[in-house]
């Protein structure tokens, strides 16, 4: 059953953003999504400052970044206690620095940590592993203090993301583990997409959930990964046939789940991706790791935008903030 406040949020959101319309071009979808997000985004908290910059990767990609910093806590503590790289959701097709400001701003305001939003390349113009490569490059730059911000050398780094951004955060953590790179203290995933096919039983029981359906998941998957692990991609008339992405971009396809930083994974009850979070946590725990699971009762995919009205979302947000704060103190 939906939380009453979430039911009201869905009604409002549906009026602002009816569906992922197949007839729209990617640019039209992005414009609509950004307008929808702007309508639901409150003013920037007065206690925060922001700074925009671009980082050019070794591969020549210019990646826009935005730093959110808490004025009072930065002054009070003398130095920033830690940094969170935030990878936005949007199915690898949608999203921008602006679209998720209500999340990144509140994380910075409520934790006192620096939060850096990352605007990676989007599909279908840039298929797998473009977004993953961008986020990996930014993470490595952050670990080596090469980002264009005034960040203390000793600031602990964490990764966070929602939906497709959760895919990116989990994938980067796994890739760093495989490459023998340490330094990430924690990983927070909110209703993440962690495979190319959602895990059972939510894949079937929540296939027609509000805000995100199984058909939506497949469309986004095909736009970014194409044909992976036996799943048939759909030909895009403008961009051509999809091709498989590398295995490291699919967290639940990993052969090992040990050696990861402490991980928080949150699923929404009414979301076909709900059990991706559960299965990921179970595999990390089975490998002896520190992984925590929260299932938001009565919540839906994309519900973080209901933070100002939904008690369930407020509890979810507190769980993320508490986790990031705990890892920053360790």
Contact 257, 289 (CB under 8 A): yes
Hey, which residues does 296 pair with through a beta bridge? Answer: 268
**Catalytically annotated residue among 70, 132, 301, 317:** 301
CATH code: domain 4-329 is 3.40.50.1820
What does the pLDDT look like over 6-24, one tens digit per residue? Answer: 999 999 999 998 765 667 8
pLDDT at 230: 39
Domain residue spans of the chain: 4-329
pLDDT at 92: 98
**Catalytically annotated residue among 271, 275, 310, 317:** 271
Give the predicted TM-score (pTM) of the model.
0.94
CA distance 99 to 34: 5
Once rounded to an integer, what is the mean pLDDT over residues 127-140? 97
pLDDT at 76: 54
Active site residue 317: no
Structure letter (DSSP) for residue 210: S
**Extended strands (E) in the chain:** 48-56, 62-70, 82-87, 114-118, 156-162, 184-190, 263-270, 291-300
Give Cβ neighbours of residue 158 (< 8 Å, ≥ 6 apart). 82, 83, 84, 85, 113, 184, 185, 186, 187, 188, 261, 324, 327, 328
CA distance 309 to 167: 27
Assess whether pLDDT exceeds 80 at residue 275.
yes
Active site residue 301: yes
**Catalytically annotated residue among 96, 99, 163, 171:** 163
Once rounded to an integer, what is the mean pLDDT over residues 164-174? 98
Active site residue 132: no
What does the pLDDT look like over 250-274, one tens digit per residue? Answer: 999 999 999 999 999 999 999 999 9
């Amino acid at each position: 059953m939906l939380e009453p406040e979430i039911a009201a949020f869905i009604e409002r959101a549906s009026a602002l953003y009816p569906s992922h319309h197949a007839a729209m071009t990617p640019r039209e979808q992005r414009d609509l999504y950004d307008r929808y997000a702007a309508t639901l985004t409150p003013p920037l908290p007065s206690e925060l400052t922001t700074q925009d910059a671009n980082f050019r990767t070794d591969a020549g990609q210019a990646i826009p970044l935005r730093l959110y910093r808490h004025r009072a806590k930065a002054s009070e503590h003398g130095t920033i206690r830690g940094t969170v790289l935030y990878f936005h959701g949007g199915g690898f097709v949608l999203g921008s620095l602006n679209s998720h400001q209500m999340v990144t701003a509140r994380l910075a305001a409520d934790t006192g940590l620096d939060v850096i939003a990352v605007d990676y390349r989007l599909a279908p113009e840039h298929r797998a592993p473009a977004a993953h490569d961008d986020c990996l490059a930014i993470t490595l730059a952050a670990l080596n203090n090469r980002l264009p911000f005034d960040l203390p050398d000793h600031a602990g780094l964490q990764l966070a993301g929602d939906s497709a951004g959760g895919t990116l955060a989990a994938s980067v953590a796994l890739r760093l583990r495989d490459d023998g790179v340490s330094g990430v203290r924690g990983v927070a995933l909110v209703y993440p997409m962690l495979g190319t096919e959602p895990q059972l039983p939510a894949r079937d029981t929540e296939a027609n959930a509000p805000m995100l359906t199984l058909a939506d998941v497949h469309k986004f998957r095909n736009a970014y990964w194409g044909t992976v692990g036996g799943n048939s991609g759909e030909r895009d008339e403008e961009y051509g046939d999809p091709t498989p992405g590398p295995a490291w971009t699919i967290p639940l396809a990993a052969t090992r789940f040990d050696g990861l930083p402490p991980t928080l994974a949150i699923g929404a009850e009414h979301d076909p991706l709900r059990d991706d979070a559960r299965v990921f946590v179970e595999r990390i725990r089975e490998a002896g790791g520190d992984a925590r699971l929260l299932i938001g009762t009565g919540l839906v995919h994309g519900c973080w935008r209901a933070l100002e009205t939904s008690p369930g979302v407020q509890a979810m947000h507190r769980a993320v903030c508490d986790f990031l704060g705990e890892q920053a103190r360790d």
